Amino acid sequence: MVETLNVALIGQGFMGRTHSNAWGQVGKFFQVPLRPVMHSVFGQAEENPQAFANNWGWQHATTDWEGLVRSPEIGLVDVVTPNFMHAPPARAAIAAGKPCSCEKPIAGTLADAREMVEAAKAAGVKTFVWFNYRRCPAVALAHQMVKEGRLGQIRHVRAAYLQDWADESVPLAWRFKKELAGSGAHGDLNAHLVDMTRFVTGQEITEIVGAMAETFIKRRKLMTGVVAGGITEGLQSGQGEGDVTVDDTVLFLARFSGGAVASFEAARQATGNQNRNTFEINGTKGTLKFDFERMNELMYYDATQPRVAQGWTNIMCTHGADHPYVGNWWPDAHLIGYEHGFVNQAYDICRVLAGQEPVVPIPDFEDAYQTQRVLEAVMLSAVERRPVNLDEVR
């Protein structure tokens, strides 16, 4: 008989939908060592958490997150609120001795992130962060290939995450307010790039050589209504305007611990790019390229072949017997999508809580804190217009 794991979801919105789908699907596709039970969801009264619970299959709904986190019935607290609200329920879960999973970045400020890490270490509880792109089979394969030495010495990393949804028609939602989001495209998109490149290369970023941040739309219409399920779904403009206090785009140059140099670029107004999350890693023996808009594919150049035979190979990462996670989904080349990365992560969380190894290394609060240190160093570099060594940021 498989033991159950009662999950409490703190928050709704876009991420609430993805996590709800993951907890509802994981036991259907994977042989989970702990079977998740969608016990309760928290939402603000104006969000109508009961309607969300009814739609997504949660057994209970509440507007009292503190009581929910303390409930002895809950075995895992999953935090998907706006960034400024990550720390309070996460710290409360840790204080109650409960494992906690959290959306990225783990906190609105580096100080809050540090406190969360220290609290989790002191309490000895397991923590998880939803850097879901690690669980794309193609990204997991790239990590495996680098670890096997297929690329040789890594010399050059290029990473860009480009979107185009944040034009002038979008009102002043929480993502445009520093006090609620912490940062703009930087914390939202560069966070994924930093985590992915750290994960795939197996190296740490040691220095920010230079950085630039820009806010193109300084003021936006005030928002009315409640955010629904997507990034812009349910956003309605009201009367008046307010200041945008986060970045629209951030670019920076960096050095990795293994000697590689790197460029990173995040933008929310890169017209024609809906969700172009990409990296290219160049080594002495080969190169890997990934583009999330073609998420089932990984491009590989093997420079160890005779020059006459060298060329790009497009690897379709849906061979069930060969690629991470894919054997639990569909036949070869029956493609998977965005939501499957979250299901894969839910599976790995269940494995870790059952004392097993995850299929792919899963970031905890400490790991995510290292990514957030990089983000902080980038903004320091952009403001002070100078290189920043990571040792300066703690």
Which amino acid would we find at residue 311? G
The token duo for 65 is: 């997150």
Across the range 114-134, mean pLDDT stands at 97
Per the DSSP assignment, residues forming a β-bridge with 223 are 237
Q: Which helix (H) or strand (E) holds 201?
A: helix 191-201
Which domain covers residue 242, as residue numbers? 137-294+296-331+364-384
Q: Are 74 and 98 in contact (CB under 8 A)?
A: yes
Position 348 in a domain: no
Which letter, b or e, does each residue of 282-304 get, where b requires 16 or more Cβ atoms within 10 Å of its Cβ? bbeebbbbbbbeebbbbbbbeee
State residue 322's pLDDT score: 87
Q: What is the pTM of this model?
A: 0.94
Q: Are residues 186 and 324 in the same domain?
A: yes
**Among the three residues 107, 132, 157, which one is the final residue of a domain in this structure?**
132
d(CA 364, CA 126): 8
Q: Are 61 and 53 in contact (CB under 8 A)?
A: yes
Angle at 215 between CA 211 and CA 219, to 5 degrees: 160
pLDDT, the chain, mean:
95
State residue 234's pLDDT score: 63
Q: Are residues 169 and 239 in the same domain?
A: yes
Per the DSSP assignment, residues forming a β-bridge with 300 are 288, 313
Q: Are residues 190 and 269 in the same domain?
A: yes
**Among the three residues 132, 167, 186, which one is the final residue of a domain in this structure?**
132
Position 232 in a domain: yes
Q: Are residues 254 and 202 in the same domain?
A: yes
Across the range 300-304, mean pLDDT stands at 98
Q: Are 220 and 174 in contact (CB under 8 A)?
A: no
Q: How many CB atoms lie within 10 A of CB 388?
A: 24
Q: Are 14 and 339 in contact (CB under 8 A)?
A: no
Question: Which CATH number characterizes residue 193's domain?
Answer: 3.30.360.10
Q: Are residues 277 and 370 in the same domain?
A: yes
Position 191 in a domain: yes
Position 252 in a domain: yes
Q: Are residues 118 and 152 in the same domain?
A: no
Q: Are residues 181 and 315 in the same domain?
A: yes
**Among the three residues 113, 132, 151, which one is the final residue of a domain in this structure?**
132
Q: How many CB atoms lie within 10 A of CB 337?
A: 9
State residue 228's pLDDT score: 54
What is the DSSP pairing of strand 276-283 with strand 154-162?
antiparallel
Distances (CA, A) of 346 to 235, 302, 335: 29, 34, 19
How far does the chain reach from its first CA to its final CA, in angstroms? 45
Distances (CA, A) of 59 to 39, 40, 47, 50, 342: 5, 6, 17, 9, 21
Q: Are 116 and 144 in contact (CB under 8 A)?
A: no
d(CA 16, CA 18): 6
Q: Which of 91-105, 230-244, 346-360 has the lowest mean pLDDT?
A: 230-244
Position 248 in a domain: yes
State residue 229's pLDDT score: 55
Number of domains present in the structure of the chain: 2
State residue 385's pLDDT score: 97
Phi and psi at 65, nearest 5°, equal -70, -30
Omega prior to 105 cis, within 30 of 0: yes
Position 350 in a domain: no
Position 242 in a domain: yes
Q: Are residues 121 and 242 in the same domain?
A: no
Q: Are residues 126 and 149 in the same domain?
A: no
Q: Are residues 108 and 201 in the same domain?
A: no
Angle at 103 between CA 98 and CA 105, to 5 degrees: 115
Q: Are residues 33 and 169 in the same domain?
A: no
Question: Which CATH number characterizes residue 85's domain?
Answer: 3.40.50.720
Position 341 in a domain: no
Q: Are residues 120 and 143 in the same domain?
A: no
DSSP 103: P
On the question of pLDDT at 298 being above 90, the answer is yes
Confidence of residue 232 (pLDDT cuts 50, 70, 90): low
Digit-coded pLDDT (tens) for 167-206: 999 999 989 999 998 899 999 999 999 999 999 999 999 9
d(CA 293, CA 272): 12
